[in-house]
Amino acid sequence: MLFSAVVAGLIGLACASPAPKPASETNLARRQSGPNYPVYTFDQLIDHFPDSDRYTPHTNDTFKQRYVYDSTYYKPGGPIFLYIGGETSVESRLENIESGIIQILMNATNGLGIILENRYYGDSYPLPGSTTDELRFLTTEQTIADNAYFAQHVQLPGINGSINAPDTPWILYGGSLAGAQTAFSVKTYGDILYGGIAASAPIHVVLGYSEWYAPIQKFAPQDCVASINAIIDKMDYLISTNNTAAIQELKSIFGLGSLGDIRDFAMTIAFPLGGPMNYPTNTWQELNWSPLYGSNDFWNFCNNVSDINAPANITAVDNQLAKYTNGEPWTNLGNYANYVKQIVLPYCTSGDYDSTNDGCFSTQNVSYWADTTNSGGRSYLYSTCIEQGAYQVAPPSGPSLVSRVLQVDYTQQWCTWAFPAGEYNTIPSTPDLTQYTKYGDFNFSAPRLAFIDGNQDVWLDLCYHSNDAPARYSSDLHPEHLIAGAGHHWDSYGIKDIPAEPQFIRNAHYWEIRTVQKWLRSRQSSSKRDQVVKGREL
Ligand SMILES: *[C@@H]1O[C@H](CO)[C@@H](O)[C@H](O)[C@H]1NC(C)=O
Ligand SMILES: *[C@@H]1O[C@H](CO)[C@@H](O)[C@H](O)[C@H]1NC(C)=O
Ligand SMILES: *[C@@H]1O[C@H](CO)[C@@H](O)[C@H](O)[C@H]1NC(C)=O
Ligand SMILES: *[C@@H]1O[C@H](CO)[C@@H](O)[C@H](O)[C@H]1NC(C)=O
Ligand SMILES: *[C@@H]1O[C@H](CO)[C@@H](O)[C@H](O)[C@H]1NC(C)=O
Ligand SMILES: *[C@@H]1O[C@H](CO)[C@@H](O)[C@H](O)[C@H]1NC(C)=O
Ligand SMILES: *[C@@H]1O[C@H](CO)[C@@H](O)[C@H](O)[C@H]1NC(C)=O
Ligand SMILES: *[C@@H]1O[C@H](CO)[C@@H](O)[C@H](O)[C@H]1NC(C)=O
């Protein structure tokens, strides 16, 4: 697969493709041209668990873990806000301390903000390559141990005096995968880390995650949704009846006649919606309340699919396959195919879509997956394969936006090809989800751990406010907030002007500020109480 698509996964931002850049990459570049934060490194332990069989052979070595910090609002005695880097580089998280949630919280509390890059991402690789053996230290428990060890030991250049945990209150923030790591860190290291906000955090995981498409099915413009559902039903009917000639005709309508594997075809035409693990353009997940951060690709796609003014030669395509479906036209097929041809296919600059499994849209080249060069995409796939799962699949029943050929086996084959057994480390045949669920699953609870989610997030059903979770009730010690109308950790974005934000985001930010301020006040009053008690003891 020469075509290097975006790793969709739980990441909040699309756009890592070397192909023509989607609109939001321009935004990304704009965001990154903000203040220049020097990047520092911390000597982090590669192996926090010298007694665990999981990590043999052990090592006492350290690696350089990158971080940046911002002391613009800091006054000695203020709290430390640790932004958990998650599945991307420290650079791509800078907006969070510059104008996002960390800036908001620092400004409200005279705090200091730090972004810590996740091991095996950005430039924080413990080992030279990413063979299956070299990846053995990339686990959730090692990653969250990094957070606690860092909080206890980092010395910030230019900051006098200790800011280390637990004497100074450290409050974590993470969105998405990093949100789950925030929750797991605060729960596991509550004696070191004072609190945390877990945004859109997948604390519950499943193997096949068809609910990824549920908010699109429910909230996207319904004429667009209904026509895609009907097209997919017809396509799946051709597949289930082995109508090879008709399937070939369908592929050719999308300009993808040369693509061999039917699942690769199904994924490619699903790109504007979001393919399993990969997509080159931006989807529902990349919508955002602020035009600074979001992309309109999804709206453009849906408006194209349901365009009632398309030229006759495009609408004529709707009747081309009617002969296979009892004369029923494939409404909006011409529009859908035209969009894919105009917007998706040009990402393949070679114009070679398959050619014996090596073209842009084929995922069937085993040696492509087996490349052991360090990369964020590979690290993310590894975590997915060993612990996280949540493979995007078609729903088991009801209407679908993607073909039902997209099942767990499609993603699992990549795991198998990418991570052949090493000398010391072998990936499980299917992800060991207990590595996530053991922290509490839907019963997750830890003092001063706040959960915030968006009800239109594609990852919602893995989060605290999942439709499958019990009703939630908030308290100061266990705060929770579900933002109506919001997507994937939308609270992490800011514009340095809270009153100018849309009301649902503004009020989420006020809630986060109050939550953190209450925690800090209760700490101050309890430490005063401790002093009084100590005074009496003397
Ligand atoms: C790490 O250091 C400890 C203490 O010095 C030692 O007992 C252990 O053997 C070392 N482990 C390795 C893998 O070198
Ligand atoms: C830290 O201390 C040094 C020496 O006392 C002083 O020159 C410097 O201004 C201090 N820096 C900060 C950020 O307070
Ligand atoms: C479709 O073709 C496959 C492989 O040729 C065969 O195994 C299967 O039974 C066929 N299914 C139907 C419904 O004819
Ligand atoms: C179709 O998509 C293109 C490219 O994204 C966009 O410029 C155009 O406005 C869309 N057309 C409609 C009818 O929305
Ligand atoms: C429709 O006609 C236009 C203008 O002649 C042409 O550029 C386009 O390729 C045609 N589209 C299809 C699907 O035939
Ligand atoms: C598969 O991928 C490898 C590595 O990316 C490449 O060298 C090779 O040419 C590809 N093609 C085929 C058909 O295996
Ligand atoms: C949550 O706790 C209840 C009561 O203890 C238990 O019945 C349930 O199985 C737990 N659920 C999960 C997902 O752990
Ligand atoms: C900082 O907070 C104050 C209120 O406490 C607010 O007036 C000000 O606009 C905020 N500044 C920034 C840059 O966010």
Amino acid 506: pLDDT: 98
CA of 303 to the centre of ligand 4 (A): 7
pLDDT at 527: 77
Which of 418, 436, 464 delimits the end of a domain? 418
Note whether 336 and 263 are same-domain residues.
yes
Q: What percent of the chain has pLDDT over 70?
A: 91
Which residue range is the domain that position 177 belongs to? Answer: 37-205+445-537
Residues 314 and 449 in one domain: no
CA–CA dist 447, 111 (Å, integer): 21
Ligand 5 centroid, distance to 357 Cα (angstroms): 29
When pLDDT is averaged across residues 50-59 and rounded to a whole number, the result is: 98
Q: Is residue 510 part of a domain?
A: yes
Determine the residue type at 225: V
152 and 223 fall within a common domain: no
Residue 339 C-alpha to ligand 5 middle, in angstroms?
12
pLDDT for position 12: 33
Longest Cα separation, the chain: 93
Average the pLDDT over 185-212 and give the result.
Answer: 98
Chain Cα centroid distance, residue 467: 19
Question: What is the b/e burial string over 65-85, where b = at least 16 CB atoms within 10 angstroms of the residue's CB?
Answer: bbbbbbbebbeeebbbbbbbb
Query: Do 270 and 129 share a structural domain?
Result: no
Whether residues 396 and 492 fall in one domain: no
Residues 217 and 356 in one domain: yes
Do you find a cis peptide bond into 202, omega within 30 degrees of 0?
no
Weakest mean pLDDT among 10-24, 231-245, 371-385:
10-24
pLDDT at 165 over 50: yes
Phi, psi for residue 140 in degrees, rounded to 5: -60, -40
Q: Rounded to the nearest whole angstrom, what is the distance from the C-alpha of residue 61 to the centroid of ligand 1?
A: 10
In this structure, is residue 495 part of a structural domain?
yes
Atom of ligand 2 nearest to the CA of 160: 1
319/226 same-domain check: yes
Model confidence pLDDT, tens digit, residues 92-105: 999 999 999 999 99
The band of 530, judged by pLDDT with boundaries at 50, 70 and 90, is low
Binned at pLDDT 50, 70 and 90, residue 210 comes out as: very high
User: Is the predicted pLDDT of residue 18 greater than 80, yes or no?
Assistant: no
Per-chain mean pLDDT for the chain: 92
296 CB within 6 A, ligand 4: no
| Token couple for 484 | 């109506």
Residue nearest to atom 11 of ligand 6 (CA): 358
- The ligand with the least distance to the CA atom of 466 is 7
CA distance 219 to 407: 23
How would residue 357 be classed by pLDDT, with cut points 50, 70 and 90?
low
Q: Mind listing the pLDDT tens digit for each residue in 469-506? A: 999 999 999 999 999 999 999 999 999 999 999 999 99
Tell me if 424 is assigned to some domain: no
What is the Cα–Cα distance from 212 to 293, expressed in whole angstroms? 21
303 pocket-lining for ligand 4 (C-beta < 6 Å): yes
The answer to whether position 294 is within a domain reads yes
Same domain? For 177 and 64 the reply is yes
Give residues with Cβ within 8 angstroms of 8, minimum separation 6. 14, 274, 275, 276, 277, 278, 279, 283, 285, 392
Q: Is any ligand 3 atom within 6 A of the Cβ of residue 242? A: yes
- Nearest residue (CA) to ligand 6, atom 5: 368
* 7 within a domain of the structure (yes/no): no
Same domain for 406 and 450, yes or no, is no
- The domain that holds 92 is classified in CATH as 3.40.50.1820
Q: Identify whether the C-beta of residue 197 lies closer than 8 Å to the C-beta of residue 172.
A: yes
Helix axes 408-418, 376-383, angle to 10 degrees: 120
Residue 438 lies in a domain: no
Give the lowest-confidence range in 4-18, 165-179, 447-461.
4-18
Residue 44 above 70 pLDDT?
yes
Reply yes or no on whether the pLDDT at 532 is more than 80.
Answer: no
415-421: average pLDDT:
98
- The pLDDT value given to residue 27: 40
- Alpha-helix runs per DSSP H in 86-165: 95-98, 101-109, 140-153
Residues 256 and 183 in one domain: no
Q: How far apart, in Å, do the first and last CA atoms of the chain sit?
A: 72
> What is the Cα 479 distance to its own chain's centre?
23
Closest listed residue to residue 111, CA positions, set 119, 102, 120: 102
Total tally of structural domains belonging to the chain = 2
Tokens of 371: 């490349």
Q: Tokens representing 134?
A: 């070299």
- Which atom belonging to ligand 5 lies closest to the Cα atom of 314? 13
| Percent with pLDDT over 90 in the chain | 88
Position 6 confidence tier, pLDDT thresholds 50, 70, 90:
very low
- pLDDT at position 36 is 85
Q: Minimum mean pLDDT among 338-347, 435-444, 520-529: which range?
A: 520-529
Residue 278's identity, in one-letter code, is N
Helix (H, G, I), strand (E, B) or coil at 8: coil
Confirm whether 426 is domain-assigned: no
pLDDT recorded at residue 25: 36
- Enter the tokens of residue 490: 């939308």
Same domain for 157 and 250? no
Do 86 and 139 sit in the same domain of this protein? yes
Q: Is residue 8 part of a domain?
A: no
Select from 352, 383, 418 the last residue of a domain: 418
Q: Give the residue, by CA position, lying nearest to ligand 7 atom 6.
A: 443
